[in-house]
Amino acid sequence: MSRFSKYSSDLSIFTNKNENGIKLSDRLNSLLTNSKYFDVLSGYFRITGFYLLANQLESVEEIRILIGLGTDKETIKAIDIFEMSGSNAVLEIKKIVKEEFSLTSDDSLEMENGVIKFCEWISSGKLKIRLCYDQNVHAKVYIIRKNPEIVPDQFGNLITGSSNFTYSGLDKNVEFNVELKDQFNVQYALDFFNELWKNSKDITSDIEETIKNETWMSNNITPYELYLKALSVYFEEEIRTRKVDYEWPEGYMNLQYQEDAVTQARKILAKHGGVLISDVVGLGKTYISAMLGKLLQGKKLFIVPPVVKDTWEHVLSDFGYKMSDKVVSLGIVDQVAGWEDLESYKYIFVDEAHRFRNASSTEFQYLKKICYGKGVVLITATPQNNTILDIANLITLFQDSRNSSIIPGCKDLDKYFSELNRQLKKSDNNPEIVSLVASDVRDKVLRNVLIRRTRNEISTYYAEDLQKQGLKFPKVNDPIRLEYMYDEEMDQAFDYTIELLKSFTYARYTPLLYLRDKKRIGSDKVRQENMRGFVKTMLVKRLESSIYAFIESIKRLKKSSKGFIKLYKKGKVVVGSVSRSKFDYADLEEMEDNYFQLMIDAYDIDCYEPIDFEDRFISDVKSDYKILKDIYKLWSKFDIKIQDSKYDVLKKKIDSFEKDKKIIIFSEAKDTVDYLKEKLTNDYENIVIDFSGGDSLGKKKYIQDNFDPGFAWKNINDKRILITTDALSEGVNLHNASIIINYDLPWNPTRIMQRVGRINRVGSKNEELFVYNFFPRDNSKEHLSLENSIKYKIQMFNELLGGDLKYITDDEKVKSYNLYDFLMMANKLPDEIELSSNALEMSCIQIINKVIKENPELFEKIQKFPNKIRLARKDNDETKAITFIKQGWIKKFIKYESGNSIEIEFEEAIKALEAREDEKSITLPKDYFTIFNANKNAFVDIINASKVQNIISTSSPNEKKVRKYIKALLASQEIKPSDKEYLEKVNASIRRGSLNSRVFKDLMKEINKNNQSIDAIINSFKSIIDETYLEERKNYDVMNSLKKPEVIVLTECFIKGN
């Protein structure tokens, strides 16, 4: 039995508590029966709660509401309204009314009908509202006077207490109110009320006007204005930040598309702790990043390829960076990870970040430590080269894989990407599945962290600004093939070489695969197989690049194999990279035993005995050595430097170009570069220059003087032909040149994109650009068409490589195309194969910017629109409704259709909301509130899912083993308190996803070696897991937006047909 059940139903105290069943709204509704006048003095009044009494107020002749000042937090937002002038007080009340309509959670037809009735009674004069702004009135009083013609024996009733005239005060909050029924008290309260009423200000019309024109009750909003409202809210950060004046250094172009990228990058960096700047090559990512860094407070560290380190230093100097900001080569990340002042850097910029997409690499581990807990800017035109896991790995440089803020409702990126990757593998990369997965990643992940635009998009959406700056992008013509064919004798030698290489075992490079004790191979098996693939790849590339490069490689391999065999005969088998030392195998074979052992120890090279290997090992090594000697003998009969049809084709093509056109010739082989430098210098004398990775910074700068327009002021223009390896294929401006010749078969289209990007750059003065690709033809297949003859020759390389084609190109797309066809479209990839484009966003920003510029009055109008605006219009396709809701930076579109509410992406939503200026709205559907609340509840469900504690669901075998060790150690009675605290931190870092599979693999390897005691195992943990990862990242906040209030921006209903 309730403790309140003993009280009479005539109780004169009302608390809104459910136990006694009496709420203030219920009592007022009861008392309003047969009443003529209703007067309310309330510290605060919510119009949207009016519907609780609307039905009973129908028969009341006059309603007076006097608003004073309450003491509760919701009252006028702590603004002392009584210290204001009368006009300011009215403005504040109007503001509160708008906020009330925006924030109310009681969205229903009954509530709206109550508000409509409220406005009708204002218009008829039945309802009057006044503001008591000259006294500090805190009272809450409800005075009901009866109709004497109906109940002549009753004067009225008085209720006073804590309840404001709000939905909460009347119904929901626990309050304490007392009813008085005697005429004396009611009359006293009425006199008190009338005195205040006489000295107050009439705000009836102000409130009516506010409701009708400045809340979601307004009918004055068009579909076009609602569309602009959606754009202005979705891109509010871009609009707000764009007001900042970017100060570009003298000599740098002030390009709007670059400024917009900076704006977007700042927004993403603030939200997620990291951003990928991935505009296609040549659009100025370096300048965008430099401006971004200039606007960020705190020390910056730039990690860049060594070949562009000086360029970055020059640019940052121009932008006025501080001496404390540093530029380092990505080749020394191991050293940087050990810097004592590493924690003093707040932001890390990584140029050509795709080089770190392999999370299992040692370099990645160093870079992750450097980036951990800092703001990270990853700069790359090709963030995804192989699989979607490339993107996932890069993201973990600035976010934990299981505690991510990128996808609201899905903190576990590890699980998200693993599921998608499983789908791809299961479908065997079915094009339809690939497309669906790419779309999902683009919409849910990349849209939130990546900035990417193509030249076509820049030209389309920034045409006006480009024209004003006198800037245009050159036309890139389709690739042109240059085919070459050896004479019959040399072609036969070529084919015979291919056949010999098919028998090559590569035993010398995979000795561990021949060990008798297979257990000793362990994890080195994959490394050995990779080594075989890399050597095979090197030989094939050299053979196709130039016979000269191929023969030079054969000479080196032959010498190395000879030394290896001699060393074997002395009872020594060296396994590991001898290149770590200054010695070759001939040196090792001649060393005294004690010096040999010293060298082995110093360079961490393993040494075995012949007895450790299967008998076939040395047989295969000798067989390979014989093949190398046969190949060398086969080609020694040709004078390569004279008898070279490929070079003849090159020279003929160069001779056909206009003499003022600068040319860049790319080759992956340094031997080929050296060879071409000698040949071209003989033919063209001093206009030729070459470059490879080992060349000096001074030589590189001299090349820039000749080929980079940025150095035109030096007036150096004595070099016309540049031959280079891919050392100059990234991060360097060479757009004085208009011609690129790929002397090698360009296996990797991604590399071609980088090469073409050297000349296809913003600011190029060339009208057209030309790309030439060399292809071999088969002499013996003259009956075939030219194209088929080329394809036949390429197929010979494919067959030779077999599964090792992946070592030449890691681009999965190559495998779904004929290689020849793919390469002949390679330079179109940036525009035609989109990783993720911000095109639609850019077009939308342009629309809203145009409104700001050309119609500021309209923009100001839509900025003042209240939240929850709604309308309906006809639609030819389907009946649906779209609600736009935001919470902090989280912005979502929820679509209601056929009884279900689901989240939709920005593209679908904004295309549906798009409207013409002359489009009209129609009446809202009768079930509007059902639809609206369904969408609102769907949003709440999505957000609540984000708050659920993450449970690890994707774990590698090694991770599971590590977690079992932790569980067992924590359960042990022998563990020290400090070690227990340490392991709990490790456990937390695992749950966050701070550690990756490489760490677990190394840890288990260490534990297996040192598991004799609890202390030994814990020391294994401490030796492998860097303490950096035991602290939570501070560069982003997963829950930050989830703590912000929900804001319903708008809803639009689409009604099919008439």
Digit-coded pLDDT (tens) for 941-956: 887 776 654 445 567 8
User: Which domain range does residue 280 map to?
Assistant: 242-468
**Both 111 and 249 in a single domain?**
no
pLDDT band per the 50, 70, 90 thresholds, residue 825 = very low
Q: Which residue has the tokens 């409702």?
A: 409
In a domain, 302, yes or no: yes
**Both 336 and 368 in a single domain?**
yes
Give 671-714 pLDDT, tens digit per residue. Answer: 999 999 999 999 999 999 999 988 888 899 999 999 998 888 88
Domain containing residue 171: CATH number = 3.30.870.10
Is the pLDDT at 585 greater than 70? The verdict is no
User: Within a 10 A sphere around the Cβ of 208, how many other Cβ atoms?
Assistant: 18
Q: Which segment of 5-9, 85-89, 609-613 scores lowest on mean pLDDT?
A: 5-9
Is the pLDDT at 879 greater than 50? The verdict is yes
Is the pLDDT at 523 greater than 80? The verdict is no
Domain containing residue 262: CATH number = 3.40.50.10810
Question: Pick the residue with more confidence: 993 or 1045?
Answer: 993
CA atoms of 628 and 634, how far apart (whole Å):
10
**Both 628 and 652 in a single domain?**
no
- Residue 486: per-residue pLDDT: 84
Is the pLDDT at 868 greater than 50? The verdict is yes
**Both 519 and 374 in a single domain?**
no
Sequence-ordered strand ranges (E) for 68-192: 127-131, 141-146, 156-161, 177-180
Q: What is the DSSP secondary structure assignment for residue 722, as one 8-state letter?
A: E
Give the pLDDT mean for 3-15.
Answer: 57
Closest CA to 833 of 818, 819, 846, 814: 814
Q: Which residue has the tokens 């934990």?
A: 400
Question: Pick the residue with more confidence: 738 or 78?
Answer: 738
In a domain, 736, yes or no: yes
DSSP codes of every residue in 903-967: EE-HHHHHHHH---TT---BPPPTTHHHHHHHHHHHHHHHHHHHHSPP------HHHHHHHHHHH
Q: What pTM value is reported for the model?
A: 0.74
Q: Which residue has the tokens 């190398």?
A: 628
Which of 44-58, 262-276, 798-812, 815-829 is predicted most confidently?
A: 262-276
In a domain, 859, yes or no: no
**Both 45 and 135 in a single domain?**
yes
Q: If you compute the radius of gyration of the chain from its CA atoms, what whole number of angstroms results?
A: 38
CA atoms of 192 and 24, how far apart (whole Å):
22
- Residue 77: per-residue pLDDT: 38
User: Within a 10 A sphere around the Cβ of 443, how many other Cβ atoms?
Assistant: 17
Instruction: Name 689's bridge partners.
Output: 722
Question: Pick the residue with more confidence: 760 or 520?
Answer: 760
Closest CA to 648 of 769, 535, 490: 490
pLDDT band per the 50, 70, 90 thresholds, residue 385 = low
CA atoms of 167 and 113, how far apart (whole Å):
15
**Both 33 and 182 in a single domain?**
yes
**Both 447 and 417 in a single domain?**
yes
Is the pLDDT at 818 greater than 60? The verdict is no
- Residue 1019: per-residue pLDDT: 93
Domain containing residue 814: CATH number = 3.40.50.300
In a domain, 777, yes or no: yes
Query: What region does 21 belong to: left with phi over 0, alpha with psi -120 to 50, or beta?
Result: left
- Residue 761: per-residue pLDDT: 84
Q: How high does pLDDT run on average in the chain? A: 82
Question: Pick the residue with more confidence: 367 or 927?
Answer: 367
CA atoms of 137 and 878, how far apart (whole Å):
54
- Residue 581: per-residue pLDDT: 39
**Both 672 and 615 in a single domain?**
no
Q: What is the DSSP secondary structure assignment for residue 170, as one 8-state letter?
A: I
User: How far, in whole angstroms, is CA 887 from its chain's centroid?
Assistant: 19
- Residue 233: per-residue pLDDT: 93
CA atoms of 169 and 178, how far apart (whole Å):
14
- Residue 543: per-residue pLDDT: 85
- 1052, containing H or E segment: strand 1046-1056
Domain end call among 793, 808, 832: 832
Sequence-ordered strand ranges (E) for 472-576: 475-476, 480-484, 573-575
pLDDT band per the 50, 70, 90 thresholds, residue 762 = confident
Question: Which three-class secondary structure string do you get for 818-854?
Answer: CHHHHHCCHHHHHHHCCCCCCHHHHHHHHHHHHHHHH
Q: Residues 785, 758: contact at Cβ < 8 Å? A: no
Q: What is the DSSP secondary structure assignment for residue 886, as one 8-state letter?
A: E
Is the pLDDT at 84 greater than 50? The verdict is no
**Both 351 and 442 in a single domain?**
yes
- Residue 946: per-residue pLDDT: 61
CA atoms of 705 and 3, how far apart (whole Å):
93
Is the pLDDT at 985 greater than 90? The verdict is yes
Query: What region does 854 belong to: left with phi over 0, alpha with psi -120 to 50, or beta?
Result: alpha
- Residue 798: per-residue pLDDT: 54
- 900, containing H or E segment: strand 900-904
Closest CA to 787 of 750, 755, 821, 759: 821
Q: Residues 402, 993: contact at Cβ < 8 Å? A: yes
Task: Name 661's Cβ contacts closer than 8 Å, sequence gap at least 6.
Answer: 720, 737, 738, 739
- Residue 787: per-residue pLDDT: 55
- Residue 21: per-residue pLDDT: 58
Give the pLDDT mean for 85-111.
Answer: 65
In a domain, 982, yes or no: no
In a domain, 786, yes or no: yes
Domain end call among 618, 636, 654: 636
Give 1010-1037 pLDDT, tens digit per residue. Answer: 888 899 999 999 999 999 999 988 877 7
In a domain, 78, yes or no: yes
Question: Pick the residue with more confidence: 100 or 158?
Answer: 158
Domain end call among 436, 468, 500: 468
**Both 768 and 632 in a single domain?**
no
In a domain, 663, yes or no: yes
Number of domains in the chain: 4
The encoded tokens of residue 118 equal 């409220």
- Percent of the chain exceeding pLDDT 70 equals 82
Three-class secondary structure of residue 1029 per DSSP:
helix
Three-class secondary structure of residue 505 per DSSP:
coil
Which of 45-54, 129-138, 795-804, 875-884 is predicted most confidently?
A: 875-884
- Residue 502: per-residue pLDDT: 87
Is the pLDDT at 521 greater than 80? The verdict is no
Instruction: Name 67's bridge partners.
Output: 42, 131
- Residue 206: per-residue pLDDT: 79
**Both 603 and 698 in a single domain?**
no
**Both 738 and 822 in a single domain?**
yes
